[in-house]
Amino acid sequence: MKPEILLIEPMLDVIEARLDEAYVVHRHYAATEQEAIAKALPSICAVVTGGGTGLSNDQIDSLPALGIIAINGVGTDKVDLVRARGRNIDVTTTPGVLTDDVADTGIALMLAVLRHIAKGDRFVREGRWARGGAFPLGTSPKGKRLGILGLGQIGRALGRRAEAFGMTIGYWNRSPQTDTGWTAHATPTELAASSDVLAVCVAANAATQDLVNAEVLEALGPKAIVINVARGSVVDEDALLQALWNGTLAGAGLDVFVGEPRIREEFFTAPNTVLMPHQGSATRETRIAMGEIVLANLQAFFNGEKPPTTGN
């Protein structure tokens, strides 16, 4: 008999087909499956979920046979790792394969804000160009200072890309990273005071909650912008919205938000702000590579082996 697994959110069709081959897949997001899922809870041994979605403690508690939470992403902030460890549940992620796409998203957001790409698109479509409307000049990244908050794989990939645009790189990281030759700063506020663009790449956890707060935003100043490809919780959204609306920050490019997908509506009209629906790793190529890692982790677990990318 095939083992039973719970799929919290959809994956690529080709990956779901492979899951269906190997397992009885209960789809949490399918309204028609809810009754069957309620009956299957005692026999479900594995959950597959997204990094931005995770699994709540109530869900963990409702699955007495759960042995693995396979996250299709690198963020573990939506899973209570202590609770999982206490139950001897492996929590796996998909490290490495999404680094470049998330870094690309950071660069795309930075250029979109500095060069008014989204605003320009609306300007042309709405016929304002044809009517002779004026369009604002952009800001060149060349010669500007990129401050990277969190110098993990994604932060490093973002920095390498930014160097190609002629930017100088500074960073803040909890542990020193001396191999890059980039300038280390002692605190997020010191980094912000030396940055024109602040790129938030740090993992979300209790220690990084609201790390980008009013003080950091004030240190950045009215000509600087914030890019967030990490998690909404790392930025104090009250302070960010206030800075955008007051003009004490020049703009923001945001892929992630608190409470997504139902984000605060003040973002919809915030000045000089480009919004994306959490698409950092969302290319077909990368989603296939991530799916392969999820499949490998599940297979190892059901073979009685340690899943290769267990993070807890």
Catalytic annotation, residues: 231, 260, 278
We find the least distance from the C-beta atom of residue 136 to ligand DGY, in angstroms, to be 32
> Structure tokens of 165?
């645009």
**How far from each other are the two terminal CA atoms of the chain, in whole angstroms?**
29
271 versus 308: smaller Cβ distance to ligand DGY: 308
- CB within 8 A of 95, min separation 6: which ones? 74, 153, 309, 311
Beta strands in the chain (DSSP E): 4-7, 24-27, 44-50, 68-72, 90-92, 145-149, 168-172, 183-184, 197-200, 225-228, 251-254, 273-275
52 versus 106: smaller Cβ distance to ligand DGY: 52
The residue number with the shortest CB distance to ligand DGY is: 51
Q: Judged by CB under 6 A, does residue 281 bind ligand DGY? A: yes
98 versus 197: smaller Cβ distance to ligand DGY: 98
* CA dihedral (100, 106, 111, 116) positive or negative: positive
We find the least distance from the C-beta atom of residue 52 to ligand DGY, in angstroms, to be 4
243 versus 256: smaller Cβ distance to ligand DGY: 256
Q: Judged by CB under 6 A, does residue 232 bind ligand DGY? A: no
Residues between 107 and 136 with contacts to ligand DGY, criterion CB under 6 A: none
Residues between 61 and 80 with contacts to ligand DGY, criterion CB under 6 A: 73-75
How many CB atoms are closer than 10 A to CB 193? 17
CA distance 230 to 257: 9
214-238 burial code (b ≥16 CB/10 A, e <16): eebbbbbeeebbbbbbbbbbbbbbe
We find the least distance from the C-beta atom of residue 75 to ligand DGY, in angstroms, to be 3
Q: Judged by CB under 6 A, does residue 188 bind ligand DGY? A: no
Among 51, 147, 155, 307, contact with ligand DGY (rule: CB under 6 A) = 51
- How many H helices and E strands in the chain? 11, 12
We find the least distance from the C-beta atom of residue 26 to ligand DGY, in angstroms, to be 21
Q: Judged by CB under 6 A, does residue 47 bind ligand DGY? A: no
We find the least distance from the C-beta atom of residue 71 to ligand DGY, in angstroms, to be 7
250-284 burial code (b ≥16 CB/10 A, e <16): bbbbbbbbbeeeebeeebeebebbbbbebebbbee
Q: Judged by CB under 6 A, does residue 98 bind ligand DGY? A: yes
Of 44-52, 62-70, 104-112, 181-189, which segment contacts ligand DGY by CB under 6 A?
A: 44-52
Catalog residues that contact ligand DGY under the rule CB under 6 A: 50-52, 73-75, 98, 280-281
